[in-house]
């Protein structure tokens, strides 16, 4: 994004913003709203989001004066103000945008446009207080748009199915982002309990009885002792549901 200003222009301001192959040229009638719109265009394409998810609060009423003052220092020079691509990256939460002041193609100084910028993203948050040990059910989750910098980059999921049914390991306050470090899997099989073992070998399915040697949640592989055979053999079985595990012969669980 490039803003261009030529010498001897005091009362009028020509600003050129270059984004990809598009060039926006403003005459003396340009407004801050024009600049905000084009900044939103650039951010939207950079982050691949809708403009409605970009919030810009303009707080700089002195931009024109800054540029005019610069022109007084360099009356016979071409001034070029450039917003660097690097300033667009990780822009959410910033309080200003640095402008590189270039004279004859070389950077001379940096000035700042003061504005608050937020990029909104959908997040899974608690629709009400989820108490420690409570199961996360669909009615306790809502999708809400919040500033992207408030969403943890790690331990975050935007898939309701991946957190539904888990247990809160601490109180999760209303409207708090739900992350994996706040949850644990819900055990459906418990150590020492009797389980049904489903043995699958191709299309052939047999059932047996066993004892769980460890707690387990759905999808987890646990050690199970087969008690219906005199050998009391121990096998690894995949937990399918409460009291039900599966062993697949000739393949992996």
Query: Per-domain residue ranges for the chain?
Result: 2-119, 120-184, 187-248
At the topology level, CATH places domain 120-184 in Type Iii Antifreeze Protein Isoform Hplc 12 (3.90.1210)
Domain at 187-248: CATH architecture: Roll (2.30)
Cα–Cα distance, 120 to 91 (Å, whole number): 12
CA 214 to chain centre: 35
pLDDT tens string, the chain, 253 residues long: the values are: 444 433 333 333 333 333 333 232 323 345 677 778 878 888 888 888 899 999 999 888 777 777 778 778 887 777 776 777 777 878 888 888 887 888 877 888 888 888 899 999 989 999 999 999 999 999 999 999 999 888 887 788 888 988 999 999 999 999 999 998 999 999 999 999 999 999 998 889 989 999 999 999 999 999 999 988 777 889 999 999 999 999 998 755 5
Residue located via tokens 């460890």: 214
Do residues 24 and 4 make contact, with C-beta atoms less than 8 angstroms apart?
no
Total-model pTM: 0.62
Question: 52, 112 in Cβ contact below 8 A?
Answer: no
In the prediction, which pLDDT does 25 show?
Answer: 30
Residue 162's contacts (CB-CB under 8 Å, 6 or more residues apart) are none
Bridge partners of residue 200, in order along the sequence: 205, 248
Domains 120-184 and 187-248 share a fold: no
Contact 198, 205 (CB under 8 A): yes
What confidence score (pLDDT) does residue 111 get?
Answer: 82
Residue 12 has a pLDDT of 34
CA distance 167 to 150: 23
């Amino acid at each position: 994004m490039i803003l261009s200003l030529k010498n001897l222009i005091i009362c009028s301001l020509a600003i050129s913003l270059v984004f990809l192959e598009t060039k926006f040229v403003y005459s003396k009638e340009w407004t801050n709203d024009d600049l905000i719109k084009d900044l939103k265009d650039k951010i939207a394409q950079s982050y691949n989001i809708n403009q409605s998810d970009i919030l810009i609060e303009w707080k700089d009423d002195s931009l024109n004066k800054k540029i005019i003052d610069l022109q007084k220092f360099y009356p016979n020079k071409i001034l070029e103000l450039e917003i660097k691509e690097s300033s667009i990256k990780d822009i959410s939460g910033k309080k200003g945008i640095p402008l590189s002041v270039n004279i004859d193609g070389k950077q001379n100084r940096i000035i700042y446009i003061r504005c608050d910028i937020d990029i909104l993203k959908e997040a899974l948050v608690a629709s009400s207080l989820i108490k420690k040990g409570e199961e996360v059910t669909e009615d306790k989750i809502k999708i809400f748009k919040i500033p992207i910098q408030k969403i943890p980059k790690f331990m975050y999921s935007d898939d309701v199915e991946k957190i539904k049914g888990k247990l809160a390991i601490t109180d999760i306050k209303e409207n708090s982002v739900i992350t994996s470090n706040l949850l644990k899997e819900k055990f459906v099989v418990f150590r020492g309990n009797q389980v049904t073992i489903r043995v699958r070998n191709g299309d052939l399915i047999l059932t047996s009885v066993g004892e769980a040697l460890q707690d387990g949640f759905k999808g987890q592989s646990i050690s199970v002792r087969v008690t219906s055979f005199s050998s009391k053999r121990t096998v690894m079985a995949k937990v399918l549901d409460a009291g039900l595990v599966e062993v697949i012969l000739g393949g992996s669980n």
